[in-house]
Structure 1
Amino acid sequence: MKRLFLLSAAALALTMAPAWAVTRIATLSVPGMTCPACPITVKKALAKVDGVTAITVNFEKREAIVTFDDAKASLQQLTDATTNAGYPSQVKP
């Protein structure tokens, strides 16, 4: 009986874990990108943020689209990363 309870509790914990972590997508405006090489620096800076799973940087639109785990990263961490790399950004609504 005790073993069944422990197994049930473990199974419940495993099924509940994904509900706490939410994958989010944020679009950042990065107006300081002035050349086609700038997106490389922006992408490298965002890739260093724990929880970031995908990054697309568009030079023509001066924006970065970032997919991240909101349990590990925040919007502030994303904008701080680009700012620290020399490219201040802000979250687009």
Structure 2
Amino acid sequence: MKMRFVLTLLVALLSMPTWAAMQTVTLSVPGMTCSTCPIIIKIALSKVEGVSQVDVSYPDREAVVTFDDTRTSMKALTEATSNAGYPSTPLASGADRE
């Protein structure tokens, strides 16, 4: 009986969805031309389900986005900026740049 319980518990644990993995990505947004642009981009990205934090830098023309990769994707992030009028592309991570 104990063995059956342990096996049932093990199967239940293994069949659970993968735990959420928070990711941070930097998007290049070259179309920022004024100090209002970062506000629009931040609002657009914040509306994407799964996004937990957005920091937009006008001087660098970049947006740093932290998101739950089980609830959204890189494609959804770039679509959100494009739909707001600011096409973006992901930058290579620091490890990839070296």
**What band does the TM-score fall into relative to the shorter chain?**
0.7 to 0.9
Counterpart AA for 1:62 = R
Structure richer in helix, relative to its length = 1
1:76 aligns with 2:79: no
What is the number of equivalent residue pairs in this alignment? 86
TM-score (norm 2): 0.78
* CA–CA distance in structure 1, aligned partners of residues 27 and 71 of structure 2: 18
Structure 2: distance between partners of 1:57 and 1:73: 19
Q: Give the C-alpha shift of residue 20 in structure 1.
A: 2.3
Q: Secondary structure in 2 aligned to 1:31?
A: coil
Aligned to 1:31: 30
Aligned to 2:95: none
Alpha-carbon distance in 1 for matches of 2:55, 2:72: 17
Structure 2 CA distance for aligned equivalents of residues 91 and 80 of structure 1: 12
Q: TM-score, normalised by structure 1?
A: 0.82
Per the alignment, residue 91 of structure 2 pairs with 92
